[in-house]
Amino acid sequence: MARSPVLACAGLTKRYGTTTAVDHLSFTIAEGETYGLLGPNGAGKTTAISMIVTVVDRDGGEILIDGQKPSTRTKALIGYVPQEVGAYMELTARENLRFFSRLYGMRDRSRVERVLEATGLTERADEVVSTYSGGMARRLNIAIGLLNSPRLLVLDEPTAGVDPQSRNAILGTVSALADEGAAVLYTTHYMEEAERLCDRVGILDHGRLIAEGTPDELRAQAGEADLEAVFLHLTGRALRD
């Protein structure tokens, strides 16, 4: 029997006044799959993932995590990496991770060391976070999201504005997690990043999914050389201002 997807969304909808931020969004992510949700500013990416991780209530639609409706139990299966850095600036990276692991009720100290290693922060783990570059702080944010060994890792534009070294470290961390069998939901407006990292891509515009497929399929359907051009072909607009 085929396994159910790790994430299944059907008809997900969110309205803010007269704006429909997310409009009947449906997609699935399988075990070990990296799914990129792409779209320009304001397309509805953050709103969509906020509903999936249940920090924003939905106005319509269904979400299943490992075949179960959202609950305290399914929350424990999700690692969420928001755009804003959630770490304490006056603590070191290791102190932050120990704090969050205690908050999650985790006793296994070795997990802190594992996530430091996975994000390339071991050597700087005892330095105070306020001395970190923006890219290193983002890596720590990801380390926090990895603490609970998530079945579904959700990342909101994790590489926006980071230096190339941190960007490569972040992409490496995400692919390693997917290789271990996690499902990854990744939002970005960097097309080349999605082409490199994602098994499948959904293109979101005005809250609606206007195309979905592997990067190769999308390029072939639109007859374009890259995903940036695919977006222009589909919407008549450039992806970034």
Out of 16, 161, 214, 221, the residue judged to bind ligand ATP by CB under 6 A: 16
Q: Which are the contacts of 149, defined by CB distance < 8 A and separation ≥ 6?
A: 111
In single-letter form, the type of residue at position 141 comes to N
Q: In the window 70-109, what residues touch ligand ATP (CB under 6 A)?
A: none
Identify the DSSP state of 2.
P
Q: Give whichever of 23 and 33 is closer to ligand ATP, judged by the CB atom.
A: 23
Contact 147, 108 (CB under 8 A): no
Q: Which are the contacts of 204, defined by CB distance < 8 A and separation ≥ 6?
A: 25, 37, 38, 39, 43, 44, 45, 48, 210
Q: Is residue 55 a contact point for ligand ATP (CB under 6 A)?
A: no
CB of 147: closest distance to ligand ATP in angstroms?
A: 24
Smallest CA-to-CA distance from 167 within 119, 201, 214 is with 119
Alpha-helix residue ranges (DSSP H) falling in 62-163: 72-75, 93-103, 110-118, 134-146
Q: Is residue 237 a contact point for ligand ATP (CB under 6 A)?
A: no
Q: Is residue 141 a contact point for ligand ATP (CB under 6 A)?
A: no
Q: Give whichever of 138 and 151 is closer to ligand ATP, judged by the CB atom.
A: 138
Q: Is residue 240 a contact point for ligand ATP (CB under 6 A)?
A: no
Out of 21, 52, 97, 239, the residue judged to bind ligand ATP by CB under 6 A: 21
Q: Is residue 214 a contact point for ligand ATP (CB under 6 A)?
A: no
Q: In the window 35-54, what residues touch ligand ATP (CB under 6 A)?
A: 39, 41-47
Q: Give whichever of 14 and 139 is closer to ligand ATP, judged by the CB atom.
A: 14
Contact 139, 166 (CB under 8 A): yes
Contact 182, 174 (CB under 8 A): no
* 38-40-42 Cα angle (round to 5): 110
Q: Which are the contacts of 228, defined by CB distance < 8 A and separation ≥ 6?
A: 191, 192, 238, 239
Q: Give whichever of 120 and 157 is closer to ligand ATP, judged by the CB atom.
A: 157
Q: How far apart are CA 37 and CA 34, in angstroms?
A: 10
Q: Is residue 238 a contact point for ligand ATP (CB under 6 A)?
A: no
Q: Is residue 19 a contact point for ligand ATP (CB under 6 A)?
A: yes
CB of 172: closest distance to ligand ATP in angstroms?
A: 23
Q: Is residue 158 a contact point for ligand ATP (CB under 6 A)?
A: no
Q: Report the interface residues with ligand ATP, using CB under 6 A.
A: 16, 19, 21, 39, 41-47
